[in-house]
Structure 1
Amino acid sequence: MELYNLMENEVLNTIDSIQKEVEIKCQCEKCRLDIAAIALNNLSPKYVVTEKGYLYAKVNNMNYQFNTDVITAVTKAIEMVSENPKHD
């Protein structure tokens, strides 16, 4: 296993699941990645380098506060990108 930021996967999965409930004006990959970058810059990274570390971090991420923090960061990022998309 390589150095891996578990938070990246969590944010991308949250974007995919939340877009059914929150209106995202543009569904293009550029806007999706902008949303992810903004959200990740507002969350603490969760780096792992082993399978055991990955499993431990995954279990620790299964709590209400963690999920709330990720959803809040993604929602704010969606609002920012929807108001100021970086393309025509």
Structure 2
Amino acid sequence: MIKNYMEIIVSEVLDEVIKNYDICKCEDCIDDIKSIALNNLSPVYFLASDDEGEKKAFLLDRQRRISVLAKVAEAAEIVINNDHNKNKNEG
């Protein structure tokens, strides 16, 4: 089985961002942020049989996490500026 480890990093970083910023936490907004960020990052797949140390090193790489944080922040900004919940509350 293969798994895109970029999805794991995006989820972890987004969880951290959500705790510290005023971002809508509804499932639609979270999914929108994740999808925008992931579409702007290269996927990185590992096989289940790949070395666990290699997978862990990928997930803990500081520079990679900073790059992902930048993409998640950009995605969050897009979603905040186009929040579908604003339209629900204004009507």
For Structure 1 versus Structure 2, the TM-score category normalised by the shorter chain is 0.7 to 0.9
- Structure 1 gaps of 5+ residues are none
Percent identity over the alignment?
35
| Letter matched to residue 73 of structure 1 | K
Q: 2:64 aligns with which of 47, 66, 71?
A: 66
- 2:5–2:59: 8 Å Cα contact kept in structure 1? no
| Letter matched to residue 18 of structure 2 | Q
Distance, in Å, in 1 between the alignment partners of 2:73 and 2:37 is 8
Distance, in Å, in 2 between the alignment partners of 1:5 and 1:73 is 17
TM-score by length of 1: 0.84
- 1:35–1:78: 8 Å Cα contact kept in structure 2? yes
- Structure 2 gaps of 5+ residues are none
* Alignment correspondent of 1:10: 9
Q: CA-atom RMSD, angstroms? A: 1.7
- Bigger Cα Rg: 2
* Alignment correspondent of 1:31: 29
Give the count of matched residue pairs: 86
Q: More helix per residue: 1 or 2?
A: 2
Distance, in Å, in 2 between the alignment partners of 1:67 and 1:39 is 12
Q: Find the residue that maps to 1:52 and give its secondary structure.
A: coil
> Which stretch of structure 1 is more off in the superposition, 48-57 or 63-72?
48-57
